[in-house]
Amino acid sequence: MSSVTGTTYDDTAAPDLFVGTDAIDTVRYAAATRAVYADLSTGSAYKLLRILPFGDSITYGVIGSTTDTESGGYRTLLQDRLTLADVVVDMVGSARNGPAGIDPDHEGHRGFTLNQLDAIDAGAIAAARPDAILLMAGTNDSAKDTSTTMIADLRALIVSITKAAPDATLFVASIPPVRVGQQAQVRADRVDAYNDKMPALIAELAASGRKVVFVDMRDLDVTHISAPPVDSGLHPNAGGYAVIADHWYDALEARLGLHAGAIGQDQDRFVSIENLDGSAFADRLTGDAGANRLDGLGGDDRLNGTAGDDMLIGGGGNDVLDGGDGIDTASFSGAWTDYAITIDAAGVHIADRRDGSPDGTDHVVATERFAFANGMFAIDRIANDVPFATNDIGLAKPAAGTPALDTTGNLLANDTDADLALGDLIRVTGVHAGTAAATFVGIVDTLTLDGSYGTLTIATDGSYRYVVDADRAAALGTGEGQDLFAYRIADVSGSVATATLAITIAPADAPAPVPPSSILYTRAGTIDGSSFTSDVLTGPAGANSFYFDLSVASGHDRIQRFETVDVLLTSAPLATAPDGRVVPTGDGSIDFDGPGGSADSVTIGGIDPAAGLRSLGIVDGLSVYAAGAVRPSGAIEGTLGADRMIGDTADTTRQVYFVDTALEIGLGNDRIERFGRHDILVTTTALPDGNADRIIDFGSDKILNLPTGNLVVTSIKNAALQKIEYDGTVEHGGVHYYVYSLIGSAAGLADLQPG
């Protein structure tokens, strides 16, 4: 690298052209207010833009309203396209969701209307400080509002947003169509009319000086909308989100200078520039084929020298330094003893141990030299790292009716040393029985040591064999025992670490009980947690049965995620609270009284601990339980068997009748008697409404066929009803509640109080 110092140029807030001299010239971004992405090989730089995706569940990324909500929607696909263009943006917002690998920030709120978005936009914008806003909203308004009301609400929202962020560019998109069949034709017509009124509104507001742009997405059609059973006909499918992402990308390209390698109005160009100084933010600085000096200054930077003999300076923050080709140098402000330095297959990790950690923790790859205040070091001069030993476990457990088995393993399999990639070695050098302080017995090749219930033979390469002594193990009877050994490992430099090996001597399992023959057990998606081991139980997508045989010791299990359509099956009833609920203990578990006084339990992830589980009754000898929070507050529920749910004779009290139709089990043939003008029927799936007139017709037999069984509903005078009225749907805790009442009654959604 030449030592002739040339000119230092300071970046401005406008696009700059930096033309260097014949000497070594530097462009400095110390005053930048955003992260800088500068590349000397392409001769270009831009400032990181903050983009706020704003809207409802389509911005959130819902494909299926209950089954596919975490795709990230267009946000994932838009970021994929930006990555292909080698462009990075900062997605901002108070909400976070989507697949791993994307920037998950956004301001998409499921179920929000235009007015609800208008109520939060000022606060969201103040927190996010966006340069661009991607607004798609109105789908939820189309359920009831006219297109005239919707466009007026959109106007108010745009005015509010542009007032809160006058310098940001607001991109307003037309909304996707709705699928007729799942949704009424009148709703589809409202969406079309709303979309057709947008261009004139946006043009008017843009002419008044607001930075607002219409993004026409009216080429979306119903083939881009998710079909049943995954969705209600409102949300785009994967193909629809791809079209939306393409439209957003094209709009950014047209209005924000997006092209391969850059975005935004403040884009700089370099000619004959050798060095770059970054900003106080998380910069990405890239060199060219020559010898460059890249200095990240503050922030968590990524510096890539590419080719040439480069100097990389991370500065403050946790930086990634990649020298690329050539003989490259990573420079640090302190002496090498000020840093904790480790090496592994991924590279060199250098953590500043000084007060305040001024250099942070840097990850360095493809770099040959390390410059410290007290000298230059090559990789092979960096200090040795001590090994790390992890505790080991083994199990000696016979099959039923056979003597205890031995067990084998390797102690070094889970032990590490950061220098192994450089040819360092670790070996077992000593062992002693028990965990109390004792002198390690050295190992030259192999060593055999006596424990409480057997003998351990161990080699320096970590391999071991433990053999149970049947006579000593007989004292355990049907219980368990444990032998403990402490061991020591060392690397070539003599650095040591210690850990323990715990061998459990367990009795054989009792013969497996005969599984139930009930269809609730034999159906697909049943997971049996009755084994003695403590298991983590995870069901596949859809409705699952989690079964526990309380006649055997089942250990301490955990159901990873108990969905609202899942059921818990037990071979005997569980202890319940006075209201019939099974409530977890303080540590979140449900205790079982196992055989022989064994204390078994299951912790159920995904349920509300306060609501616990609700009993659905007993069928085929199995006690059946479902999530307690699903049942609406104060509801009379149709459970297993033929239930009679009886209302008050005077029809003066609001009564809520509940059938959990989303459960894929047969609940039996039920009867609601004295269904009055104050009462509502609540289900968790929509009742069939063939002509979409919101009137549910039971048919001439006056029997309503539900997914879980049949239902007869009688009036206050105990006459069987043939029709009821659909009042609407509300979502709470991931459950969709469908509410029905007498035709023309005042009862409805307002009478529902979720559990």
Hey, what are 448's tokens?
A: 């055999």
What's the distance, CA 699 to chain centroid? 45
3 state DSSP class of 438: coil
- pLDDT, position 381: 47
- 125 HSE (CA, 13 A, CB side): 25
CATH 1.10.760 fits 392-505, yes or no: no
Element (H, E) at 245: helix 238-255
Within a 13 Å sphere around the CA of 629, how many CA atoms are in the beta-carbon half? 16
Asked: is 50-255 a CATH 3.10.105.10 domain? The reply is no
* pTM > 0.85: yes or no: no
Q: How is 154-177 classified by DSSP, letter by letter? A: HHHHHHHHHHH-TTSEEEEEPPPP
pLDDT at 311 (0 to 100): 96
Task: Count Cβ atoms below 10 Å from residue 427 Cβ, excluding itself.
Answer: 16
Q: Do domains 50-255 and 392-505 have the same CATH topology?
A: no
pLDDT of residue 373: 87
What is the pLDDT, as a whole number, of residue 368?
A: 87
Q: Which long-range contacts (CB under 8 A, 24 or more apart) does 596-600 make?
A: 596/553, 598/553, 600/548, 600/550, 600/553, 600/554, 600/555, 600/556, 600/557
The structure tokens 């946006």 sit at 202
Q: Which residues pair with 706 in a beta bridge?
A: 709
Alpha carbons 652 and 634: distance in angstroms, whole number: 16
CA gap 247, 170 in Å, rounded: 14
How confident is the model at residue 2, as a pLDDT?
Answer: 35
Q: What is the DSSP string of 649-704?
A: TTS-S--EEEE-TTS-S----EEEES--TT-EEEESSPPP-TTSSSEEE-TTTT-E
Q: Which residues of the chain have pLDDT under 50?
A: 1-4, 381
* Helix segments in 129-237, DSSP class H: 147-164, 185-207
Q: What is the model's pLDDT at position 419?
A: 63
Specify burial of residue 445 (Cβ count, 10 A radius: 0-12, 13-18, 19+): exposed
pLDDT confidence of residue 492: 62
Domain boundaries, the chain: 5-47+265-381, 50-255, 392-505, 519-630, 636-751
**pLDDT score, position 436:** 63
